[in-house]
Amino acid sequence: MKIIKIPGINGMGRTNGCEKAPESILNALDDVWSNEQGKIVDRRLAEIYEIKVNNSNIEESLNEIEKKAWKILKDEKCLFLGGDHSISFPILKAFKEESEKDKFLIVFDAHADCMPRMPEPSHEEWLRALVEQGFSARNIILLGLRNVWQSELEFLREKNIRAYWMKNMEDKESICDAIMEMAQGKELYVSIDIDVLDPAFAPGTGFCEPGGMSSRELLYYAHRLAMLNNLKAIDIVEVNPSKDTSGRTSKIAAKILAEFL
């Protein structure tokens, strides 16, 4: 699996620091000697690339990410390291267009990211922009929601986007069975916003929301989804080393990364 660093941010100043995450996560990966499948992890053996971005020119950055991601997705399974969640918009545009196969998107996030869109979608409305540009709403599932604006709720209902609120996610086995069945026969993309985790496990992110998943719960989903042959790409976003004084958040992101290798 290729690892692609994308230090892109478009959070109107509120995600400054996330551009440091790819290197911070890879540095933390050096302390992960094997994943829980018993596979040796050594980043010196990994194919690691970077999509260069200009965070002072968002339009240019989004175009560059989309163009490069389209070429990368043609080759093999890959994992993208952000950056904030705005990077998912151009990657998923490329994912949608790289083949005519049906696409399926699973998003782990405390937030819906469906605010009214701006010309260059930020981390707050990238998902809405993606749907409005043609990604099938029926092929999207959100997991871990627990703080959503009214306008986002209205959009989710209008588009019939399936969402699992955190309070309804106790039976993770049944939920995982259901989402894997829905994704069957389609090319799968998994987007992991680290704030899906409770701040007790991942404090180094911009918008901490109490009452989230535990590390072990998220790893359960990672282990099962990693086994799917139709899994095409993963992204891990919103790790902010500037707010991660203990390094704990980069460490859990690195562990998640390792489970997909």
- List pLDDT tens digits, range 155-192: 999 999 999 999 999 999 999 999 999 999 999 999 99
- pLDDT bracket for residue 88 (50, 70, 90): very high
Average confidence (pLDDT) over 19-34: 97
Which residue is it, tokens 């959070």?
11
- pLDDT bracket for residue 11 (50, 70, 90): confident
- How many CA atoms lie less than 13 Å away from 88 in the CB half-sphere? 31
Whole-number pLDDT of residue 240? 98
Report which of residues 106 and 99 the model is more confident about: 106
- Quick check: 153 pLDDT over 90? yes
Integer Cα distance of 200 and 225 in angstroms: 24
- Quick check: 76 pLDDT over 90? no
- pLDDT bracket for residue 92 (50, 70, 90): very high
- Quick check: 257 pLDDT over 90? yes
CA proximity to 256, closest of 19, 15, 26: 26
Residues 6+ apart with CB under 8 A from 168: none
User: How many other CB atoms are there within 10 angstroms of residue 143's CB atom?
Assistant: 23
- pLDDT bracket for residue 208 (50, 70, 90): very high
Average confidence (pLDDT) over 124-150: 97
Whole-number pLDDT of residue 75? 77
Integer Cα distance of 93 and 135 in angstroms: 8
| Tokens (6 digits) for 153 | 């709720």
Residues 6+ apart with CB under 8 A from 22: 5, 6, 7, 50, 81, 82, 83
Average confidence (pLDDT) over 89-113: 96
pLDDT more than 90, % of the chain:
92
Average confidence (pLDDT) over 44-53: 93
Whole-number pLDDT of residue 166? 97
Whole-number pLDDT of residue 220? 98
- pLDDT bracket for residue 222 (50, 70, 90): very high
* Domains defined for the chain, CATH in brackets: 2-260 (3.40.800.10)
pLDDT more than 70, % of the chain:
100
- pLDDT bracket for residue 13 (50, 70, 90): confident
- Quick check: 123 pLDDT over 80? yes
For 232, the enclosing helix (H) or strand (E) is: strand 231-237
Whole-number pLDDT of residue 44? 87
Fill in the DSSP letter of residue 118: P
Which residue is it, tokens 């955190």?
166
This prediction has a pTM of 0.97
